[in-house]
Chains A and B, each alone.
Chain A
Amino acid sequence: MRERGSLSAAKGALLARQHVVGAERAHPDAPAEDLGSMVGTCLHFSLFTNSPTVIVMVGLPARGKTYISKKLARYLNWIGVNTAVFNLGQYRREAVQTYKNYEFFRPDNEEAMKIRRNCASNALTDIGAYFTKEQGQVAVFDATNTTRERRGLILSFAKEKGYKVFFVESVCDDPDIIEQNIMQVKLSSPDYENCDKEEALEDFLKRIECYKMTYVPLDEEKDRHLSYIKIFNVGSRYLVNRVQDHIQSRIVYYLMNIHVTPRSIYLSRHGESDLNLLGRIGGDSGLSTRGQMYASALAAFVQSQSIRDLKVWTSHMKRTIQTAEALGVPYEQWKALNEIDAGMCEEMTYEEIQGHHPEEFALRDQDKYRYRYPKGESYEDMVHRLEPVIMELERQENVLVICHQAVMRCLLAYFLDKSADELPYLRCPLHTVLKLTPVAYGCKVESIFLNVQAVNTHREKPPNVDINRKTEDALQTVPEHV
């Protein structure tokens, strides 16, 4: 079954579009004649999605639905699956403008019921538009969806349009967790802007009670034909029913690996290397004197932080290993954390790349995320290869990752929800530790420069990315080096 209609559309897609991970296009070096003959049959990735998928959250308020929705969307977007979250609460806030109190949510409040049903309807319409007009692949419908009736509405909508539906239900009866949730994310909600903490808490608990009266959880028997995962008590138990396809399988795996235990992730590059000083990219050189100083400073920093059970990860390259060695603690090496392979441009300066491969240099500036060095990799390839690292980071608690510039940009983009366009230009200077701490729905970032000077290796996108540009224009943003 072909994904694309006409030949020319496919060709256009082959040359231009964003691809999902694994959506592999022809090798950029493929000669023109191959390109022509290839166009008719090469699929652009049916692996993730044929039909769009609606993920439907289910659960009482303060069960982590929005937390899961946002995190899942961030993960899916990072691996290249266009995903958006549709939060019903936001639709309601737009419709109602001012939230008075929990009475709005009383099941006998007919007026409110009408508004809420309208909101749901609007959200579904927007989901449809997201799929058809914005190339969305997954939509997360973030709402309580606690009645069979509401879920039936969504199922009919999806069936009519040919969307797949996957339910994610969060069940929790631990009062401590629920109160934590309320404290972390509800008290600061626009709904409670003008309330003090006690009032807000009390009102919210009454709100939950309103839902409890009509809550019908997904039922093993009655809902045995639906595809869903039921998460109990923040992940101690899961019930998984009828996983239909690859994307649902990946979603289940991801959801089963995330946790909410407080912890921090420290990202840093290796200490300054000899090739860094010479302005050369890639390679496998050792640390410069200053790089070694950084390694010692890093060791002191780690000690001062008094981090519980810290795991340390490096790549397989000398410079990260040398940096870790100075810490005097056990560390693990991941080949997946190796720097981006610059192929034919390995160990070159930007000046040399411009001298020998000016067209490649320009193409890279045109699309730095998807551009693949000849015989090398692209940022897109790297995201794919780093996915197991991210999965394991999710499983772990306190971790220090000593890696490389491009690698760190990819990891950072995952944690800070940066787009493919921003990712290759994220600033990850040498000798600076980024401490990431999950908080509320996102990630707090602290940047700690360890006071050892290092060369700058960040090259901004130059204004002129034309393949016919002059050398000076191409080299305008190259950082200084020896």
Chain B
Amino acid sequence: LPPLTPAALSVTCTCFSEARVKLCMTNCPTLIVMVGLPARGKTYISKKLTRYLNWIGVPTKEFNVGQYRRECLKIYKNFEFFRPDNEEGLKIRRQCALSALNDVRQYLCMEGGQVAVFDATNTTRERRDTITRFAEQNGFKVFFVESVCEDPDVIAENIVQVKLGSPDYIDCNTEEAVADFMKRIKCYENSYQPLDEGLDRELSYIKIMDVGRRYLVNRVLDHIQSRIVYYLMNIHITPRSIYLCRHGESDLNVRGRIGGDSGLTSRGKEYAKSLGHFIQEQNIKDLKVWTSQMKRTIQTAEALAVPYEQWKALNEIDAGVCEEMMYEEIQEHFPLEFALRDQDKYRYRYPKGESYEDLVQRLEPVIMELERQENVLVICHQAVMRCLLAYFLDKSAEELPYLKCPLHTVLKLTPVAYGCKVESIFLNVEAVNTHRDKPENVDISRPTEEALLTVPAHQ
């Protein structure tokens, strides 16, 4: 066998299956089909699910039929477009759905996609049969996600959060928009055929009722569907904030050394105190505090004088043979490795260590629990924080290893509409910079100066 060097790992095996880091999630592609009346959270779920699947490494894309309709129609007049007796409207809507399915086929068959999320109401059995036939013809598995909700408060909140800001209502005032949207919902109500326990017992689906109070799960076929169900059953929409920050500045930080398990510098301890004050000022309800099992995060949490939990999964990336080295030393002793890492920082695995890709896998249970929880402060490390941040802000594998997560800065993430609001709060205690940008020259035969061009200053 050829040697298992990190970058070469993906091409090393002559075995039949791909030498992937993770379990092969899917053999045939999966088509997730959303079902539900307007304002039931379908797009919210679609986007969130897509973000999660991409983060764990399953290429996923959402296809929102409403967008196709907007492109086709250009101008939305009012709810009458959606009247079930509007022949012209029905024709256009059907065409849009087919056009979207066409793009789905393109994505799954030719662009390397593994999961496509078909985001539309899909409220009639007829429409769902069309989709099922389409999937069968193309060898896709189908999994329906139906959102059922009759709580008028939840629906009203949805409309306010995401519909009023829609391009459809750009020129309307709030009252008009709400009134029109309610009439739009009415247009769908009469022809709505929910997934039925009897008639649809051969289909694979999850029915989400009342924003997650109750679920009906039918015929989960494979691993990816099982993971999707688990994820959907753990997310919630209760308002809350997640605070991400690194430990206070550590002794190894100031010396420009990576990894290790050192304690805080005096500035780091000052930061920990400031963090304590910050938390107090924020007056956060039932805040949970999580740290890794490394001294520097634990010492930081100790200063808060509140209960905290340690997760081994939050430990910093293991730099293997490069642990506790400065970049200059890595360049001196392992110039090849150093270059390979710059070539593919996400997938590169330190010899006897880990890659960012490995980190994501080990952080998945943390993300799952973050989804379950409400207000949480996570005190972690640079690479770990980049991974978590990439999940919340939907950053690609290419961007992830270069996200800026400076010391002594808290990122407050608050879910809003379909995404996440980020507030960056620097707690006014100076710290060394530990961010190394990707240098221009990543060639394995590059001269030392070019390799070390972007190394931040240190003692």
A329 to B17, CA, bound (A): 9
- Identify which of A29, A220, A249, A322 contacts B234 (C-beta below 8 A): A249
CA–CA, A102 and B124, complex, Å: 50
Contacts of B309 in A (CB 8 A): 22, 24, 42-43, 45-47
B229 at the interface (CB under 8 A from A): yes
- Check A333 against B305 for contact (C-beta < 8 Å): no
Given contacts A27-B293, A321-B13, contact A239 B214 (CB under 8 A): yes
Which chain A residues numbered 312 to 365 have a C-beta less than 8 Å away from chain B? 316, 318, 321-322, 324-325, 329-335, 346
Interface flag for B74 (CB, 8 Å): no
Given contacts A38-B302, A240-B215, A381-B312, contact A325 B223 (CB under 8 A): no
**A321–B4 alpha-carbon span in the complex (Å):** 11
**Chain B: CB-nearest residue to A4:** B307
**CA–CA, A333 and B222, complex, Å:** 19
Give A246 to B369 CA distance when docked, in angstroms.
Answer: 8
Query: Which of A62-70, A252-260, A273-281, A302-310 faces chain B?
Result: A252-260
> Using an 8 Å CB-CB cutoff, how does the interface string of B286-307 with A read, 1 for contact, 0 for none?
0000000111001101101111
**Chain B stretch 1-20: residues in CB contact (< 8 A) with chain A:** 1, 4, 9, 13-17, 19-20
A34-B298 in contact (CB<8A): yes
Shortest Cβ distance from residue B389 to the other chain A in the assembled complex, whole angstroms: 22
Query: How far is the CB of B20 from the nearest CB of chain A, in Å?
Result: 7
A318 touches B1 (CB 8 A): yes
The answer, yes or no, to whether B402 is at the interface (CB within 8 Å) is no
The CA of A45 and the CA of B16, in the complex, are separated in Å by: 43
A41 at the interface (CB under 8 A from B): yes
A212 contacts chain B at the CB level, 8 A cutoff: no
Nearest chain A CB to B348 CB, angstrom units? 14
Please determine whether A26 and B298 come into contact, CB atoms closer than 8 angstroms.
yes
| B331 lies within 8 A of chain A by Cβ | no
From 239 to 274 in chain A, residues with beta carbon under 8 angstroms from any chain B beta carbon are: 239-243, 246, 249, 252-253, 256-257
Q: Which residues of A contact B313 (CB under 8 A)?
A: 22
Report B393-424 CB contacts with A as 1/0, cut-off 8 Å: 00000000000000000000000000000000
User: Are the C-beta atoms of B310 and A237 separated by less than 8 Å?
Assistant: no
Q: Is B308's CB within 8 Å of the partner chain A?
A: yes
- Interface contact A236-B219, CB-CB below 8 Å: yes
Are A240 and B294 in contact (CB-based, < 8 A)? Answer: no
A408 to chain B, nearest CB (A): 19
The CA of A395 and the CA of B230, in the complex, are separated in Å by 14
Task: Produce 1/0 per residue, A1-22, CB < 8 A to B.
Answer: 1110000000000000000001
Shortest distance in angstroms between B96's beta carbon and chain A's nearest beta carbon?
33
Contact of A240 among B217, B220, B295, B361 (CB under 8 A): B217
Is the CB–CB distance between B293 and A335 below 8 Å? no
Q: Is the CB of A3 within 8 A of B307?
A: yes
Chain B residues with Cβ under 8 A from A333's Cβ?
13, 19-21
- The verdict on B285 contacting chain A, using a C-beta distance below 8 Å, is no
Cβ–Cβ < 8 Å partners of A335 in chain B: 21, 358, 361
- Contact A43-B308, Cβ < 8 Å, known A26-B298, A27-B293, A318-B4: yes
How far is it, in angstroms, between the C-alpha of A382 and the C-alpha of B233 when the chains are bound?
Answer: 26
Q: For residue B215, which residue of chain A has the nearest CB?
A: A240
- Complex Cα distance, B353 from A375, in Å, reads 11
Taking CB atoms, residues of chain A closer than 8 Å to B222 are 395
Q: How far is the CA of A3 from the CA of B306 in the complex (A)?
A: 12
A237 CA to B202 CA, complexed, in Å: 10
Q: Is A392 close to B, CB under 8 A?
A: yes
Q: Is B334 an interface residue (CB 8 A)?
A: no
Task: Indicate if the CB atoms of A332 and B23 lie closer than 8 Å.
Answer: yes
B251 to chain A minimum Cβ distance, whole angstroms, is: 13
Measured CA separation A239–B206 after assembly (Å): 10
A246–B230 alpha-carbon span in the complex (Å): 12
Determine if A256 and B226 form an interchain contact, defined as CB atoms under 8 angstroms apart: yes
A256 touches B220 (CB 8 A): yes
> Chain B residues near A213 (CB, 8 Å)?
none
- A residues 15-67 near B (Cβ < 8 Å) are 22, 24-27, 29-30, 34, 37-38, 40-43, 45-47
Q: In residues 219-237 of chain B, which contact A (Cβ within 8 Å)?
A: 219-220, 222-223, 226, 229-230, 233-234
A41 and B233 contacting across the interface, CB-CB below 8 Å: no
| Residues in A neighbouring B304, C-beta threshold 8 A | 41
B218 on the A face (CB < 8 A): yes
Q: Take A41-B307, A322-B1 as given contacts and tell me if A237 and B217 are in contact as well, using a CB distance cutoff of 8 Å.
A: yes
Among A3, A41, A47, A286, chain B packs the most CB atoms within 10 A around the CB of A41
A330: chain B residues within 8 A (beta carbon): 15-17
A41 contacts B305, C-beta separation under 8 Å = yes
**Are A24 and B218 in contact, with the CB atoms below 8 A?**
no
Contact assessment for A239 and B310 in the assembled complex, using a CB-CB cutoff below 8 Å: no
- Judging by beta carbons under 8 Å apart, are A325 and B14 in contact? yes
B213-A242 in contact (CB<8A):
yes
Q: Which chain B residues border A318 with CB–CB below 8 Å?
A: 1, 4
Interface residue B199 (Cβ < 8 Å from any Cβ of A): no
Q: Using Cβ atoms and an 8 Å threshold, which residues of chain B touch A238?
A: 215-218
* B374 at the binding interface (Cβ < 8 Å): no
| Docked pose: A456 CA to B293 CA in angstroms | 35
Cα distance, A467 to B293, chains bound together (Å): 25
* Cβ-based interface call for A459 (8 A): no
Quick check: A25 and B216 within 8 Å, CB to CB?
A: no
Chain A residues with CB under 8 A of B358? 335
Any chain B CB within 8 A of the CB of A384? yes
In the bound complex, how far is the Cα of B136 from the Cα of A155, in angstroms? 47
By a CB distance below 8 angstroms, the chain B residues around A329 are: 16
Shortest A254–chain B CB gap in Å is 10
A47 touches B369 (CB 8 A): yes
Q: Which residue of B lies closest to A346 (CB)?
A: B352
Whole-angstrom distance between the alpha carbons of A384 and B20 in the complex?
21
Residues of A within 8 Å of B352, CB to CB, are 346
Closest to A41 in B: B307
Inter-chain CA distance A47–B9, complex, in Å, is: 36
Q: Are A240 and B15 in contact, with the CB atoms below 8 A?
A: no
Instruction: Answer yes or no: B311 CB below 8 A from chain A CBs.
Output: yes
Could you say which residues of chain B place their CB within 8 Å of the CB of A2?
307
Whether A256 contacts B229 in the complex (CB less than 8 A), given A42-B308, A47-B309, A236-B219, comes out as: yes
Task: Indicate if the CB atoms of B311 and A257 lie closer than 8 Å.
Answer: no
Q: Does B24 contact A (CB under 8 A)?
A: yes
Chain A positions within 8 Å of B328 at CB level: none
| B372 touches A (CB below 8 Å) | yes
**Which A residues lie within 8 Å of B219 (CB)?**
236-237
CB distance from B72 to the nearest CB of A (A): 38
**Chain A: minimal CB distance from B258 (Å):** 14
Contact B310 A42 (CB under 8 A): yes
B247 shortest CB reach to chain A, Å? 13
| Across-interface contacts of A322 in B (CB, < 8 A) | 1
Which residue of A34, A46, A240, A334 is within 8 Å of B23 (Cβ)?
A334
Cα distance, A342 to B177, chains bound together (Å): 63
Q: How far is the CB of A279 from chain B (nearest CB, A)?
A: 21
User: Nearest B residue to A236 by beta-carbon distance?
Assistant: B219
Q: Residues on A close to B: CB < 8 A?
A: 1-3, 22, 24-27, 29-30, 34, 37-38, 40-43, 45-47, 220, 224, 236-243, 246, 249, 252-253, 256-257, 284, 286, 316, 318, 321-322, 324-325, 329-335, 346, 375, 381, 384-385, 392, 395
* A–B pairs, 13, beta carbons within 8 Å: A22-B309, A40-B305, A43-B309, A237-B216, A241-B214, A249-B230, A316-B9, A316-B21, A321-B13, A321-B15, A330-B16, A333-B13, A335-B358
The 10 tightest CB contacts between A and B, nearest first, are A24-B310, A330-B16, A238-B217, A240-B215, A330-B17, A43-B307, A237-B218, A241-B214, A253-B230, A43-B309
List 18 extra interface pairs beyond A45-B309, A46-B309, CB under 8 A: A22-B312, A24-B312, A26-B293, A27-B298, A29-B261, A237-B219, A240-B216, A240-B233, A241-B213, A242-B213, A253-B226, A253-B233, A318-B1, A321-B1, A325-B13, A331-B15, A335-B358, A346-B352
